[in-house]
Structure 1
Amino acid sequence: MSFPRVDFLYLSEPDMIKAGVRDVIGCTNCMEEVVKLLYKGDYRMGGESGNSHGCMVQFPKEPEFENMPKDGPDRRFMAMPAYLGGKFDMAGCKWYGSNVENRNKKMPRSCLMLTLNDKETGTPVAHMSANLVSAYRTAAIPGVGVKLLAKKDAKILGIVGPGYINNIIIETFAALRPSLDTLKIKGRGKESIDRCIEYVKKNCPQFKNFIICDTIEECVRDSDIMNFAVSTPTGGSETYPWIEREWVKPGALICTVGALNTSEDFIADPKTKLVVDNTKMYDTWAEEYPYPTFEKWFIFGSKFTDMIHDGKLTKDRMEDIGGIASGAIPGRESDDQIILYSIGGMPVEDVAWGKTCYETALKMGIGTKLNLWQEPYSY
């Protein structure tokens, strides 16, 4: 930058695609670097602890004002600021609004933008379309889990919630485990299931078998890898998808970027390995959504922190994927070990993948240069 003049780069969604935002292997490798930095501590997010997921605007179930939005699944606005060190060395903030009813307008559930900022001056470096940034980094964090924890010869992938995010997760998992050849799908309606199968046939030709499941149990049984990505339910943990220990295949990796619930006995069993994307963020959630956190906040790892609160689980049972990626914590310890992996998502991931795509855009001459000021107005 040449101060005091400030220019920044605007990147539209087509620009981001040209800059490689859909590179699932590149994004997974990027997220592996991110989780290592998280484990090391070279980052900051919101709040005094530096571990807040973000600041969320939620709405009442029955607003007293006529024009105020009403609570519903994924109905919120959210700002997610972060700084990430290492080779990224960048600050930024993702802002989004979300509403499941957007599908009636043929719009994505969430509309997102990401701003990258110079860490010294706070001035904008780039402002970019972030729906794909967010989607692909969301898929890449469980992708790191598959890379490090899934059995090498995994053949059967099961997914609950055949929406856009799970489509990209399937694509990511397939690239990381070419042995996958069977896809089991549990969805709410034929339309979303058909869209998912069409996407997979186009982008992941290694899948030869498609099994549409009527129940979650059917989907979970015999699956080597599972991922849950359903719209955020409201009304407490009884509304979350449920799995039984007896359904789960020995050696399975169960990932969830959405809601999931199971028995405390299954979680507490010392043979079950519990992995999260950042233990410090889960501790912060436990402060922001006081016990019982899992009743208010659907992320699966919050059930772990509630059980720790109750003395039913020791803190050391929650293991960081960053510790595994760094070699400080062992990964899979046996072929029949069941691993439960909770993914909450963090703005450091958006900053990392956004910065990576921004650097590619600069090299390729992609985007529109915009001027903030020639020199700032003098008060």
Structure 2
Amino acid sequence: MSYPKIDFLYLSEPDMVKAGVNDPVKCTDCMEDLLKILYEGDYRMGGENGNSHGCMVTFPVEPEFPNMPKDGPDRRFMAMPAYLGGKFDIAGMKWYGSNVANRDKKVPRSILTVMLNDKDTGAPKALMSANLISAFRTAAIPGVGVRYLAKEDSKVLGIVGPGMINAITAETFCNLRPIETIKIKGRGQASIDRFISYVKEKCPQVKDFVVCETLEECVRDSDILSFATSTPTGGQANYPTIKDEWVKKGCLICGPGAVNVSDELINSSKLVVDNSKLYEAWAEEYPYPTFDTMFLLGCKYLDMVHEGKLDKSRIEDLGGIVSGAIPGRKDDDEIILYSIGGMPVEDVAWGKTVYDNAVRLGIGTPLNLWDTPYLY
């Protein structure tokens, strides 16, 4: 960048696809590098603790003003800033707008953009469409978990919540393990049909799709499980709940969405999180019991620590396992519970990788901020 002139690159969603945003294996490789950097600590996110998920605007149930939005499922505006060091060495932010009612307008529930910025001046380097950044990195973080924690011969995948996030997650997992059967528990036939159509196209090695009537049917005999249901309200009693006797020995349970398990299963399983400091930040930001508000398993782990039911040292970071500092799977009978919170450093990492590809390939539209600033 040559100052004082500042140009930056605009990347539309078609540009992002041309630049490789939808490559599940490369995204998983990128998230593996990211997790190592997280474990080393070379990053910052929002808040005084440097680990906040972001700053969110929420709305009242009955607004005083006629034009103010009403609270509703997944209705939010959220700024998610981060700096990521290591080979990425970039600052950035995901801007997040979400409303379930968007589907009536034939647009996604969440509409996302990412801005990448020079770490020293703050100057913009790129503004990019980010729905695919977010979707593929959301799938790739559990993908790293599958790479390091799932049994090598895992053939049966259980999917709870067959939306597009779990469709991409299934695509990612099928590139990492010899998945032959996918069991599906969903609430609507349309989403189940879209899921099956997508996975059939992307993963021809899958031989059987089994649509399950009950959660128990989906969980039993699955080698890997992925939960990505719509955010439930009303506390943990409303989360999809697994009974201990349903879980196959050696199963890896991935929880990027709401899932509940017994205290006994937590105490007898290997407990892994994407970044333990993220859950500690949530425990500071939300009142105890945090798991009633934040539906992720890692929040339940810390609630149990708070209650004296769990030793905090039992909670392990995947970055430590990837780096070789912490042992991975003990044996083929070990059940592993993996909590995935999602962080803006992930969007920055994959966004920077795709941006570098776009620059190399000459993709995108250059935009000018100024040649000389009016004020300085």
Which residue of structure 2 aligns with residue 237 of structure 1? 236
Return the letter of the residue paired with 1:363. R
Which residue of structure 1 aligns with residue 61 of structure 2? 61
Which residue of structure 1 aligns with residue 292 of structure 2? 295
Which residue of structure 2 aligns with residue 91 of structure 1? 91
Which residue of structure 2 aligns with residue 186 of structure 1? 185
**Identical pairs, percent:** 70
- The answer to whether the Cα contact below 8 Å between 1:92 and 1:116 also exists between their aligned partners in 2 is yes
Alpha-carbon distance in 2 for matches of 1:100, 1:165: 15
Deviates more, 1:21-30 or 1:53-62: 53-62
Shift of 1:262: 1.4
Which residue of structure 1 aligns with residue 40 of structure 2? 40
Which residue of structure 2 aligns with residue 6 of structure 1? 6
Superposed CA offset, 1:269-315 (max 9, x none)? 2xx00100000010000000021111111122100110001110011
Which residue of structure 2 aligns with residue 196 of structure 1? 195
Which residue of structure 2 aligns with residue 378 of structure 1? 375
- The answer to whether the Cα contact below 8 Å between 1:277 and 1:343 also exists between their aligned partners in 2 is yes
Which residue of structure 2 aligns with residue 261 of structure 1? 260
Shift of 1:107: 1.0
Superposed CA offset, 1:54-113 (max 9, x none)? 011112223232222222221111110000000000000000111112112111110000
Q: Which runs of no fewer than 5 residues in structure 2 stay unpaired?
A: none
Which residue of structure 1 aligns with residue 304 of structure 2? 307
Superposed CA offset, 1:211-248 (max 9, x none)? 00011111000000000001111111111111011100
Which residue of structure 2 aligns with residue 360 of structure 1? 357
- The answer to whether the Cα contact below 8 Å between 1:72 and 1:234 also exists between their aligned partners in 2 is no
Alpha-carbon distance in 2 for matches of 1:69, 1:298: 24
Shift of 1:33: 0.5
> What's the secondary structure of 1:125's corresponding residue?
strand
Which residue of structure 2 aligns with residue 351 of structure 1? 348
> What's the secondary structure of 2:115's corresponding residue?
strand
Alpha-carbon distance in 1 for matches of 2:64, 2:254: 39
Return the letter of the residue paired with 1:251. G
Which residue of structure 1 aligns with residue 219 of structure 2? 220
Return the letter of the residue paired with 1:198. S
Return the letter of the residue paired with 2:313. D
Deviates more, 1:292-301 or 1:114-123: 292-301
Q: Which runs of no fewer than 5 residues in structure 1 stay unpaired?
A: none
Alpha-carbon distance in 1 for matches of 2:302, 2:62: 30
Alpha-carbon distance in 2 for matches of 1:95, 1:234: 23
Return the letter of the residue paired with 1:197. I
Return the letter of the residue paired with 2:10. Y
> What's the secondary structure of 1:176's corresponding residue?
coil
**Count of paired positions:** 376
**TM-score (norm. length: structure 2):** 0.99
Return the letter of the residue paired with 1:327. G
Alpha-carbon distance in 2 for matches of 1:340, 1:297: 17
> What's the secondary structure of 1:159's corresponding residue?
strand
Alpha-carbon distance in 1 for matches of 2:60, 2:28: 37
Which residue of structure 2 aligns with residue 115 of structure 1? 115
Which residue of structure 2 aligns with residue 335 of structure 1? 332
Give the alignment of 1:138-217 within 5 angstroms.
138-177=138-177, 179-217=178-216
Alpha-carbon distance in 1 for matches of 2:224, 2:214: 17
> What's the secondary structure of 2:175's corresponding residue?
helix
**TM-score (norm. length: structure 1):** 0.98
Shift of 1:378: 2.7
